[in-house]
Amino acid sequence: MKQQGKLGIREYVSIAILMVGAKATEDTPIQLYSKVQNASWMIPILSAGLFFIPLFLLLKTLTLYQDKDLFTVIQKLLGKYLGFVVCLLIFLISSYAISFDTRSYANIIRTFYFTTTPNLIIYALLMAVCAYGAKKGIQHIGSVAYLIVYLVVFSLWFALVLSTQESTMQAIFPIWGPGKLEIFKQSSQKVTLFADFFLFTMFIPFLTSIKVFKKGTWLAFVYVSIQISAAILIYICMFDVSMGGIGYPYHTAIRFISIGSFLPNVEIIFFITWLLSAFIRFTAFLYLNTLMFGHLFKIKDFEYLIPSLATIYLLIGSIPEAAVNVSTEFKALSLTIGGPTFAAISLILWLAALFKGEFKREKNRNSM
Protein backbone atom coordinates (compact mmCIF):
# COMPACT_ATOMS: atom_id res chain seq x y z
CA MET A 1 0.00 0.00 0.00
CA LYS A 2 1.55 3.30 -1.15
CA GLN A 3 1.23 6.23 1.22
CA GLN A 4 -0.53 9.29 -0.17
CA GLY A 5 1.88 11.82 -1.69
CA LYS A 6 4.92 9.52 -1.46
CA LEU A 7 6.97 7.94 -4.22
CA GLY A 8 6.90 4.16 -4.51
CA ILE A 9 9.75 1.99 -5.77
CA ARG A 10 8.41 2.06 -9.37
CA GLU A 11 8.43 5.86 -9.61
CA TYR A 12 11.81 6.20 -7.93
CA VAL A 13 13.47 3.56 -10.13
CA SER A 14 11.93 5.20 -13.23
CA ILE A 15 13.39 8.61 -12.29
CA ALA A 16 16.81 7.03 -11.58
CA ILE A 17 16.90 5.08 -14.87
CA LEU A 18 15.85 8.12 -16.93
CA MET A 19 18.33 10.44 -15.19
CA VAL A 20 21.43 8.23 -15.15
CA GLY A 21 20.70 5.98 -18.14
CA ALA A 22 20.41 9.05 -20.40
CA LYS A 23 24.20 9.39 -20.23
CA ALA A 24 24.38 6.72 -22.94
CA THR A 25 22.66 9.07 -25.41
CA GLU A 26 24.63 12.32 -25.09
CA ASP A 27 28.35 13.23 -25.28
CA THR A 28 29.50 11.13 -22.29
CA PRO A 29 30.48 8.10 -24.48
CA ILE A 30 32.77 10.39 -26.50
CA GLN A 31 34.45 11.78 -23.38
CA LEU A 32 35.21 8.24 -22.26
CA TYR A 33 36.32 7.24 -25.78
CA SER A 34 38.76 10.15 -26.02
CA LYS A 35 40.65 8.77 -23.00
CA VAL A 36 40.71 4.99 -23.52
CA GLN A 37 39.47 4.49 -27.13
CA ASN A 38 38.01 1.03 -27.83
CA ALA A 39 38.18 -0.02 -24.15
CA SER A 40 35.81 2.78 -23.10
CA TRP A 41 32.87 0.34 -22.82
CA MET A 42 34.56 -1.16 -19.71
CA ILE A 43 34.63 2.16 -17.82
CA PRO A 44 30.92 2.27 -16.74
CA ILE A 45 31.14 -1.26 -15.29
CA LEU A 46 34.47 -0.60 -13.49
CA SER A 47 33.34 2.84 -12.26
CA ALA A 48 30.13 1.26 -10.93
CA GLY A 49 32.25 -1.30 -9.08
CA LEU A 50 34.38 1.46 -7.53
CA PHE A 51 31.41 3.68 -6.64
CA PHE A 52 29.58 0.71 -5.09
CA ILE A 53 31.70 0.92 -1.90
CA PRO A 54 31.09 4.61 -0.99
CA LEU A 55 27.43 4.30 -2.02
CA PHE A 56 26.97 1.19 0.14
CA LEU A 57 28.57 2.96 3.14
CA LEU A 58 26.46 6.07 2.55
CA LEU A 59 23.22 4.06 2.53
CA LYS A 60 24.36 2.20 5.65
CA THR A 61 24.93 5.55 7.41
CA LEU A 62 21.60 7.01 6.24
CA THR A 63 19.74 3.90 7.48
CA LEU A 64 20.61 5.00 11.04
CA TYR A 65 18.46 8.09 10.55
CA GLN A 66 15.53 6.37 8.76
CA ASP A 67 13.58 9.08 6.92
CA LYS A 68 16.14 11.91 7.04
CA ASP A 69 17.63 13.29 3.82
CA LEU A 70 21.33 13.64 3.02
CA PHE A 71 21.72 17.31 4.09
CA THR A 72 20.04 16.71 7.48
CA VAL A 73 22.38 13.77 8.16
CA ILE A 74 25.46 15.76 7.08
CA GLN A 75 24.61 18.56 9.51
CA LYS A 76 23.89 16.04 12.29
CA LEU A 77 27.22 14.25 11.83
CA LEU A 78 29.57 17.10 10.88
CA GLY A 79 28.05 19.90 12.95
CA LYS A 80 26.26 23.06 11.91
CA TYR A 81 29.12 25.00 10.27
CA LEU A 82 31.21 22.28 8.65
CA GLY A 83 27.96 20.60 7.61
CA PHE A 84 26.80 23.78 5.90
CA VAL A 85 30.09 24.09 3.96
CA VAL A 86 29.89 20.46 2.78
CA CYS A 87 26.22 20.85 1.75
CA LEU A 88 27.04 24.08 -0.09
CA LEU A 89 29.87 22.30 -1.97
CA ILE A 90 27.47 19.52 -3.04
CA PHE A 91 24.92 22.10 -4.21
CA LEU A 92 27.55 24.05 -6.21
CA ILE A 93 28.90 20.91 -7.95
CA SER A 94 25.35 19.83 -8.79
CA SER A 95 24.48 23.32 -10.09
CA TYR A 96 27.60 23.36 -12.28
CA ALA A 97 26.66 19.95 -13.69
CA ILE A 98 23.05 20.85 -14.54
CA SER A 99 24.11 24.13 -16.22
CA PHE A 100 26.37 22.41 -18.75
CA ASP A 101 24.33 19.21 -19.09
CA THR A 102 21.27 21.20 -20.15
CA ARG A 103 23.40 23.25 -22.54
CA SER A 104 24.80 20.11 -24.18
CA TYR A 105 21.22 18.86 -24.74
CA ALA A 106 20.30 22.18 -26.36
CA ASN A 107 23.38 21.74 -28.59
CA ILE A 108 22.24 18.23 -29.62
CA ILE A 109 18.72 19.45 -30.49
CA ARG A 110 20.11 22.28 -32.60
CA THR A 111 22.87 20.27 -34.32
CA PHE A 112 20.62 17.42 -35.47
CA TYR A 113 17.04 18.62 -35.61
CA PHE A 114 16.52 22.40 -35.60
CA THR A 115 19.63 23.66 -37.35
CA THR A 116 18.28 27.13 -38.18
CA THR A 117 16.79 27.93 -34.75
CA PRO A 118 19.06 30.04 -32.49
CA ASN A 119 20.59 27.96 -29.70
CA LEU A 120 19.38 30.33 -26.99
CA ILE A 121 15.72 29.87 -28.00
CA ILE A 122 16.02 26.05 -27.88
CA TYR A 123 17.86 26.27 -24.56
CA ALA A 124 15.31 28.68 -23.03
CA LEU A 125 12.41 26.47 -24.14
CA LEU A 126 14.06 23.37 -22.65
CA MET A 127 14.57 25.15 -19.32
CA ALA A 128 11.03 26.60 -19.33
CA VAL A 129 9.44 23.16 -19.82
CA CYS A 130 11.65 21.67 -17.08
CA ALA A 131 10.87 24.52 -14.67
CA TYR A 132 7.14 24.06 -15.32
CA GLY A 133 7.43 20.32 -14.66
CA ALA A 134 9.55 20.78 -11.54
CA LYS A 135 6.98 23.17 -10.04
CA LYS A 136 4.42 20.35 -10.22
CA GLY A 137 6.37 18.50 -7.51
CA ILE A 138 8.25 15.24 -7.18
CA GLN A 139 5.10 13.04 -7.10
CA HIS A 140 4.08 14.31 -10.56
CA ILE A 141 7.63 13.84 -11.86
CA GLY A 142 7.65 10.27 -10.53
CA SER A 143 4.27 9.43 -12.11
CA VAL A 144 5.26 10.78 -15.53
CA ALA A 145 8.66 9.03 -15.30
CA TYR A 146 6.90 5.71 -14.65
CA LEU A 147 4.52 6.33 -17.57
CA ILE A 148 7.33 6.82 -20.11
CA VAL A 149 10.22 4.72 -18.75
CA TYR A 150 9.26 1.53 -20.64
CA LEU A 151 8.86 3.43 -23.90
CA VAL A 152 12.22 5.20 -23.49
CA VAL A 153 14.12 2.04 -22.49
CA PHE A 154 12.53 -0.01 -25.28
CA SER A 155 13.30 2.62 -27.95
CA LEU A 156 16.93 2.91 -26.78
CA TRP A 157 17.52 -0.86 -26.91
CA PHE A 158 15.63 -1.11 -30.21
CA ALA A 159 17.88 1.59 -31.71
CA LEU A 160 20.97 -0.19 -30.36
CA VAL A 161 19.85 -3.55 -31.78
CA LEU A 162 19.20 -1.96 -35.19
CA SER A 163 22.66 -0.36 -35.01
CA THR A 164 24.29 -3.79 -34.81
CA GLN A 165 23.37 -4.37 -38.49
CA GLU A 166 26.08 -1.91 -39.48
CA SER A 167 28.69 -2.97 -36.94
CA THR A 168 31.79 -5.15 -36.72
CA MET A 169 33.02 -6.93 -33.58
CA GLN A 170 36.63 -6.47 -34.76
CA ALA A 171 36.49 -2.85 -33.55
CA ILE A 172 36.79 -3.86 -29.86
CA PHE A 173 40.36 -5.21 -30.37
CA PRO A 174 42.93 -4.75 -28.86
CA ILE A 175 40.59 -5.40 -25.95
CA TRP A 176 42.60 -3.41 -23.36
CA GLY A 177 42.89 -0.30 -25.54
CA PRO A 178 45.72 1.89 -24.21
CA GLY A 179 46.47 -0.52 -21.33
CA LYS A 180 44.99 -1.79 -18.07
CA LEU A 181 46.58 0.93 -15.93
CA GLU A 182 45.03 3.73 -17.99
CA ILE A 183 41.62 1.99 -17.91
CA PHE A 184 41.74 1.72 -14.13
CA LYS A 185 42.87 5.34 -13.76
CA GLN A 186 40.01 6.60 -15.95
CA SER A 187 37.48 4.34 -14.17
CA SER A 188 38.40 5.85 -10.80
CA GLN A 189 38.09 9.40 -12.18
CA LYS A 190 34.81 8.72 -13.98
CA VAL A 191 32.80 7.49 -10.99
CA THR A 192 30.87 10.74 -11.59
CA LEU A 193 28.79 8.68 -14.05
CA PHE A 194 26.94 7.44 -10.96
CA ALA A 195 27.15 10.60 -8.83
CA ASP A 196 23.38 11.13 -9.25
CA PHE A 197 22.78 8.20 -6.88
CA PHE A 198 24.57 10.20 -4.18
CA LEU A 199 22.22 13.16 -4.84
CA PHE A 200 19.11 10.93 -4.88
CA THR A 201 19.51 10.53 -1.10
CA MET A 202 17.84 13.96 -0.87
CA PHE A 203 14.64 12.19 -2.00
CA ILE A 204 14.50 9.80 1.01
CA PRO A 205 11.76 11.75 2.89
CA PHE A 206 9.61 11.61 -0.28
CA LEU A 207 9.73 7.81 -0.48
CA THR A 208 7.49 5.35 1.36
CA SER A 209 10.47 3.96 3.34
CA ILE A 210 14.28 3.80 3.43
CA LYS A 211 14.02 0.09 2.51
CA VAL A 212 12.21 1.02 -0.70
CA PHE A 213 14.89 3.64 -1.39
CA LYS A 214 17.77 1.18 -0.92
CA LYS A 215 16.17 -1.56 -3.01
CA GLY A 216 15.31 0.91 -5.78
CA THR A 217 18.80 2.39 -5.74
CA TRP A 218 20.51 -0.98 -6.25
CA LEU A 219 18.05 -2.05 -8.96
CA ALA A 220 18.61 1.16 -10.95
CA PHE A 221 22.36 1.19 -10.24
CA VAL A 222 22.93 -2.29 -11.72
CA TYR A 223 20.66 -1.65 -14.70
CA VAL A 224 22.11 1.74 -15.77
CA SER A 225 25.73 0.54 -15.53
CA ILE A 226 24.85 -2.31 -17.95
CA GLN A 227 22.89 0.05 -20.24
CA ILE A 228 25.65 2.67 -20.56
CA SER A 229 28.32 0.01 -21.06
CA ALA A 230 26.31 -1.89 -23.73
CA ALA A 231 25.51 1.34 -25.59
CA ILE A 232 29.18 2.38 -25.75
CA LEU A 233 30.18 -1.13 -26.90
CA ILE A 234 27.67 -0.95 -29.78
CA TYR A 235 28.85 2.56 -30.77
CA ILE A 236 32.46 1.31 -30.89
CA CYS A 237 31.45 -1.68 -33.06
CA MET A 238 29.45 0.62 -35.33
CA PHE A 239 31.85 3.54 -35.80
CA ASP A 240 35.24 1.95 -35.00
CA VAL A 241 38.08 4.54 -35.09
CA SER A 242 35.85 7.23 -36.65
CA MET A 243 34.05 7.44 -33.26
CA GLY A 244 36.74 9.90 -32.11
CA GLY A 245 35.38 12.49 -34.53
CA ILE A 246 31.69 12.08 -33.65
CA GLY A 247 30.16 14.43 -31.09
CA TYR A 248 26.98 12.53 -30.21
CA PRO A 249 27.13 8.84 -31.22
CA TYR A 250 23.51 7.96 -30.34
CA HIS A 251 22.07 10.66 -32.59
CA THR A 252 24.52 9.84 -35.36
CA ALA A 253 23.55 6.14 -35.04
CA ILE A 254 19.80 6.75 -35.30
CA ARG A 255 20.41 8.64 -38.54
CA PHE A 256 22.04 5.55 -40.03
CA ILE A 257 19.45 2.97 -39.08
CA SER A 258 16.28 2.03 -40.95
CA ILE A 259 13.57 -0.60 -40.51
CA GLY A 260 13.62 -2.31 -43.90
CA SER A 261 13.03 -0.27 -47.05
CA PHE A 262 9.51 0.84 -46.09
CA LEU A 263 10.65 2.91 -43.05
CA PRO A 264 13.92 4.60 -44.00
CA ASN A 265 13.71 7.64 -41.66
CA VAL A 266 12.99 6.38 -38.17
CA GLU A 267 15.15 8.88 -36.32
CA ILE A 268 12.20 11.16 -35.48
CA ILE A 269 10.57 8.35 -33.42
CA PHE A 270 13.76 7.86 -31.41
CA PHE A 271 14.22 11.62 -31.10
CA ILE A 272 10.77 12.06 -29.51
CA THR A 273 11.35 9.37 -26.86
CA TRP A 274 14.83 10.79 -26.20
CA LEU A 275 13.35 14.27 -25.77
CA LEU A 276 10.73 12.96 -23.29
CA SER A 277 13.48 11.37 -21.19
CA ALA A 278 15.52 14.60 -21.36
CA PHE A 279 12.57 16.59 -19.97
CA ILE A 280 12.12 14.17 -17.08
CA ARG A 281 15.86 14.09 -16.40
CA PHE A 282 16.25 17.85 -16.06
CA THR A 283 12.88 18.37 -14.39
CA ALA A 284 13.94 15.99 -11.61
CA PHE A 285 17.46 17.48 -11.55
CA LEU A 286 16.06 21.02 -11.24
CA TYR A 287 13.69 19.95 -8.46
CA LEU A 288 16.57 18.25 -6.64
CA ASN A 289 18.81 21.33 -6.84
CA THR A 290 16.04 23.64 -5.63
CA LEU A 291 15.34 21.22 -2.78
CA MET A 292 19.03 21.43 -1.77
CA PHE A 293 18.99 25.24 -2.01
CA GLY A 294 15.85 25.42 0.13
CA HIS A 295 17.47 23.15 2.72
CA LEU A 296 20.68 25.19 2.81
CA PHE A 297 18.96 28.53 3.37
CA LYS A 298 15.98 27.24 5.41
CA ILE A 299 13.38 28.11 2.76
CA LYS A 300 10.27 26.04 3.39
CA ASP A 301 8.36 26.78 0.16
CA PHE A 302 11.38 26.18 -2.06
CA GLU A 303 9.21 25.36 -5.11
CA TYR A 304 8.76 29.11 -5.73
CA LEU A 305 12.51 29.36 -6.41
CA ILE A 306 12.44 26.89 -9.33
CA PRO A 307 11.98 29.49 -12.15
CA SER A 308 14.74 31.72 -10.69
CA LEU A 309 17.23 28.85 -10.42
CA ALA A 310 16.34 27.65 -13.93
CA THR A 311 17.11 31.16 -15.24
CA ILE A 312 20.47 31.24 -13.41
CA TYR A 313 21.42 27.84 -14.86
CA LEU A 314 20.39 29.04 -18.32
CA LEU A 315 22.69 32.07 -17.98
CA ILE A 316 25.62 29.97 -16.71
CA GLY A 317 25.10 27.37 -19.44
CA SER A 318 25.10 30.11 -22.09
CA ILE A 319 28.63 31.26 -21.15
CA PRO A 320 30.57 28.95 -23.55
CA GLU A 321 30.08 30.23 -27.09
CA ALA A 322 31.08 27.11 -29.02
CA ALA A 323 29.24 23.82 -28.55
CA VAL A 324 32.52 21.91 -28.60
CA ASN A 325 33.80 23.82 -25.53
CA VAL A 326 30.81 22.61 -23.50
CA SER A 327 31.86 18.99 -23.96
CA THR A 328 35.66 19.25 -23.96
CA GLU A 329 36.18 21.80 -21.20
CA PHE A 330 33.15 22.51 -18.99
CA LYS A 331 31.46 19.10 -18.90
CA ALA A 332 34.78 17.25 -18.77
CA LEU A 333 35.60 19.16 -15.57
CA SER A 334 32.36 18.17 -13.82
CA LEU A 335 32.84 14.57 -14.97
CA THR A 336 36.23 14.48 -13.22
CA ILE A 337 35.36 16.37 -10.02
CA GLY A 338 31.84 15.31 -8.97
CA GLY A 339 32.16 11.57 -8.37
CA PRO A 340 35.44 11.48 -6.40
CA THR A 341 34.21 14.39 -4.21
CA PHE A 342 30.89 12.67 -3.46
CA ALA A 343 32.67 9.36 -2.80
CA ALA A 344 34.98 11.11 -0.30
CA ILE A 345 31.99 12.77 1.47
CA SER A 346 30.27 9.34 1.73
CA LEU A 347 33.35 7.86 3.40
CA ILE A 348 33.70 10.84 5.78
CA LEU A 349 30.04 10.51 6.86
CA TRP A 350 30.43 6.79 7.51
CA LEU A 351 33.61 7.38 9.55
CA ALA A 352 31.93 10.19 11.51
CA ALA A 353 28.99 7.90 12.38
CA LEU A 354 31.43 5.13 13.31
CA PHE A 355 33.51 7.33 15.66
CA LYS A 356 30.38 8.82 17.25
CA GLY A 357 29.24 5.29 18.08
CA GLU A 358 26.03 5.60 16.03
CA PHE A 359 26.30 2.05 14.63
CA LYS A 360 26.80 0.58 18.13
CA ARG A 361 23.80 2.51 19.42
CA GLU A 362 21.66 1.24 16.56
CA LYS A 363 22.82 -2.34 17.24
CA ASN A 364 21.90 -2.02 20.92
CA ARG A 365 18.53 -0.52 20.02
CA ASN A 366 17.78 -3.45 17.68
CA SER A 367 18.84 -6.09 20.23
CA MET A 368 16.58 -4.68 22.94
Q: Give CATH for domain 9-358.
A: 1.20.1740.10
CA dihedral defined by 334, 338, 340, 344, rounded to 10 degrees?
150
Residue-wise pLDDT tens digits, 24-74: 998 889 989 988 888 899 999 999 999 999 999 999 999 998 889 999 999
User: In the Cβ-directed half-sphere of 270, how many Cα atoms lie within 13 Å?
Assistant: 25
- What pLDDT, on a 0 to 100 scale, did the predictor assign at position 153? 96
Contacts of 78 (CB under 8 A, 6+ apart): 86, 348, 349, 352
- What pLDDT, on a 0 to 100 scale, did the predictor assign at position 263? 66
SS3 259: strand
Confirm whether pTM is higher than 0.85. Answer: yes
Residue-wise pLDDT tens digits, 242-279: 888 888 899 998 888 877 666 667 788 899 999 999 99
CA-to-CA dists, residue 6 to 137, 151, 218, angstroms: 11, 24, 19
